[in-house]
Structure 1
Amino acid sequence: MWHKLSMVCVLAGPALAGTAGAASAQDRGHDLQLAGVVPKNSAEQFELAFWESIKDSPHVSDYEAYLKAYPKGRFAALAQARIARLRAAQGTGGAAATAPAPGRPPAAAPAKPPPARAAPPTAPSPAPAPAAAAAAARRPAGAEFKDCPACPIMVPLPAGAFTMGSNNSDPSEKPAHQVAIGAPFAIGKHEISLQQWNACVNAGGCQKTSLPANLPPDAPVRDVSWDDAQQYVKWLSTSTGKAYRLPTEAEWEYAARGGTATRYWWGEQMATGKANCKECGQPWSNDAPAKTGSFAANPYGLHDTSGSVWEWVSDCWHNNFKDAPADGRSWDQANCRVRVIRGGSWREGAPYMVSSTRFRYDASVRHTQNGFRVARNMK
């Protein structure tokens, strides 16, 4: 059994050269060692986890998001100094900073950054676990399809039952409970790519992202909010005449597990080469996620359900699964503004790669680690 632990955090990173003495003094704060026990689920822990996830980022928007959430935080001066340095570098032809595109509102602050999670044992890439092998043998029949040349590849899945959540993980994932998906549906084989997003942008259905211009077209789109994702599925539905949407949280986990009931879709132990995360093996870079489909598919033929980018789902956030619907529908409520994200990202470590990992952001948040995949009704 493993769960969230109090953090012992050492912040270190390359010093940023600059011309302003005051900014240089602030920036040398990266040498500060923060040691000691931070209470679990405390505001201090959340702030440390947020800073740890962005402290080496080359994107202005990440530091702006931190300042939005913690305007008087312990790293506020350092965040302001790094924003100044990145913008100065941009002005002199150095590393480009990420700035909101014209006409876009600034990114809203996240509800809270992902809390620290304890690392489970890591094993070298083993042979497929029996559970994963059995699930592969049970892979649902049905051919992959695309509804248009620019549309995502969809994988049809049958109705079925599974155990959602975990009693041995984060408290938000409890209690583990039975869910019956009552109707077949299709889900994206990959996360929505930058090329697919730009097809919507070019058609006037979506807003351009603030991502660097040199990203490959098959990179997963990110820095998109839940509201932005709704624009995409609306455009896709209108363009194809099919009922596209975000998957429900239950549908997402059902698909991500790929017919398995283990901690990860490949088994109980962490293994390298299975997911795009900072402890998951190559290809990996701190700067950006790998191209969609760079890692093996799960037994249902889906790529990147663990790592790559966090994925928006349709549900409102609830702190746990008590009283969650058992039929796979979206768990909504009136005036909901905080939505669920699933799967972890390339910047998180191995503990976030478990199939039950979940977190939340405000629906208007645009964050460089957040993307999505789509679902579609089959009737």
Structure 2
Amino acid sequence: MWRKTLVVSWIGSVLLGGGASCAALGVAGAMFATSASAGILPKNSDEQYELSFWDSIKNSNYASDYEAYLKQYPNGRFAALAKSRIERIKATSPTQPAKPEPKVEAKPAPTPAPTPAPPPAARTPATPATPATPPTANQPRSRSGGPIAQGTVTYANEGKEGAPAPASAPARPAEAKGGEIRDCPACPVLVSVSPGGFTMGSSTSDPAERPPHRVTISQPFAIGKFEVTVEQWNACADANACPRIATNPAEAKAAPVRDVSWDDTQQYLAWLTKTTGKTYRLPSEAEWEYAARGGTSSAYWWGDQMRKGNANCKDCGEPWSDAAPANVGSFAANPYGLHDMNGSVWEWVADCWHSSYKNAPVDGRNWDEAACTARVIRGGSWREGAPYMVSSTRFKYSTSVRQSQNGFRVARDMK
């Protein structure tokens, strides 16, 4: 799948819309000439990654967003503008609180791995209201679309939630209809997924999704029915076990939490594990795609053509808002009873990024590497278009970088 290059008007809005100078527009003109001569850009294009990353932060009021861009692209096309924005923000808001940093153990500084961003239809670091995640250079990108059924997701024991059970006395799993499980009042609802086989990847999409290969999931596992919500994340923050994410307002409690890094997710998983006595983790990339396909082999779980009401993305049908993703569960569930696997927010998975499936494991396990600094994100976001909604789409992101369209869902073994 290929994305069209950005047009002059878009480049002008990216630069001038943020208060850039005429000189910057001149740079934009030159940049457009380069893009125009290139024709269309593949989903896995480094140029598109950078443009998408910039577009996702271009309206941000946080200096840390521009610092993250400079970390990934110290000599990028928007480097001068990013530095200017940082100086302006610090000069006008000297007391502006910094975005909270993840409380993770020190690790070797990651080598600049581009952060995934959405396609030419750029994205904006939005304030959470529902799912969203994008890619940066050399990282995954986001997609979006689909009717949004308004409302808040509720659970059988909602309103009766107390403090999480201590690790020494894990809460007894609450079995619900359809194989649903909830290990504690503040925990995400899980859906049990039976073992099986499927063809992972695609021979007609991005090179990173090749070669298609047969994978056998030999053990049952449980995966989040929805993406982790703002309310669920804040329960961890309230326990001082996770960083408070300023861009996820408490009132958006049923929206998917976003702007979280891979490192952030590890803190949340550690808290859930300690709280419940169950070992929580991110799904492997193979488990994620197996669950997303829901037993189907088509481009989307509902078929080969986009259909209104199944995914939250910018050209997946009304209702849709570019400001933020819809509340979790606002769109139809796939055959396995999982919501928002396509669109909403990009979802972190456990695997280290590999540029293709050559030599990938065929048993569904996590494909990891020592000192991995870039991890896989899947599913696209509400900011991208229908081509990014296909079940095989994959991208990458630096583990330490927070991006406004990136979120996650949890998984655990059924033992």
**TM surpasses 0.5:** yes
Moved more, 58-67 or 171-180: 58-67
- Name 1:267's counterpart in structure 2: 303
Asked if structure 2 preserves the Cα contact closer than 8 Å seen for 1:62 and 1:368, the reply is no
- Name 2:338's counterpart in structure 1: 302
Asked if structure 1 preserves the Cα contact closer than 8 Å seen for 2:231 and 2:250, the reply is no
Q: How does 1:1-379 map to 2 (within 5 A)?
A: 3-4=1-2, 7-10=5-8, 11-13=11-13, 15=16, 24-25=21-22, 32=29, 34-35=32-33, 36-38=36-38, 43-57=46-60, 60-83=63-86, 99-101=98-100, 110-114=113-117, 116=119, 142-213=178-249, 215-379=251-415
Moved more, 41-50 or 357-366: 41-50
One-letter amino acid of the counterpart of residue 50, structure 1: F
Q: Structure 2 CA distance, aligned partners of 1:86 and 1:286?
A: 24
Q: Structure 1 CA distance, aligned partners of 2:413 and 2:23?
A: 53
- Which sections of structure 2, spanning at least 5 residues, go unmatched? 122-144, 148-176
Cα separation, partners in 2 of 1:13 and 1:114, compared to 1, 3 Å: closer
Q: Structure 1 CA distance, aligned partners of 2:101 and 2:285?
A: 33
Q: Secondary structure at the match of 1:156?
A: strand
Cα separation, partners in 2 of 1:218 and 1:4, compared to 1, 3 Å: same
Asked if structure 1 preserves the Cα contact closer than 8 Å seen for 2:119 and 2:385, the reply is no
Cα distance per residue 1:250-309 (max 9 Å; x no partner) = 110011111111001111012233212222233433332221112111111111111111
Deviation at 1:24, TM superposition (A): 4.9
Cα separation, partners in 2 of 1:145 and 1:52, compared to 1, 3 Å: same
- Which sections of structure 1, spanning at least 5 residues, go unmatched? 126-140
One-letter amino acid of the counterpart of residue 251, structure 1: E
Q: Secondary structure at the match of 1:271?
A: coil
Asked if structure 2 preserves the Cα contact closer than 8 Å seen for 1:186 and 1:376, the reply is yes
Cα separation, partners in 2 of 1:295 and 1:332, compared to 1, 3 Å: same
Asked if structure 2 preserves the Cα contact closer than 8 Å seen for 1:4 and 1:117, the reply is no
Cα separation, partners in 2 of 1:185 and 1:113, compared to 1, 3 Å: closer
Asked if structure 2 preserves the Cα contact closer than 8 Å seen for 1:308 and 1:344, the reply is yes
CA RMSD of aligned residues (A): 3.3
Cα distance per residue 1:22-67 (max 9 Å; x no partner) = x654676798582413375664443333334444556554433222
One-letter amino acid of the counterpart of residue 51, structure 2: L
Cα separation, partners in 2 of 1:286 and 1:86, compared to 1, 3 Å: farther
Q: Which structure's relative contact order is higher, taking Cα pairs within 8 Å and 6+ residues apart?
A: 2
Deviation at 1:181, TM superposition (A): 0.5
Cα separation, partners in 2 of 1:30 and 1:287, compared to 1, 3 Å: farther
Asked if structure 2 preserves the Cα contact closer than 8 Å seen for 1:65 and 1:110, the reply is no
TM-score w.r.t. the length of structure 2 is 0.74
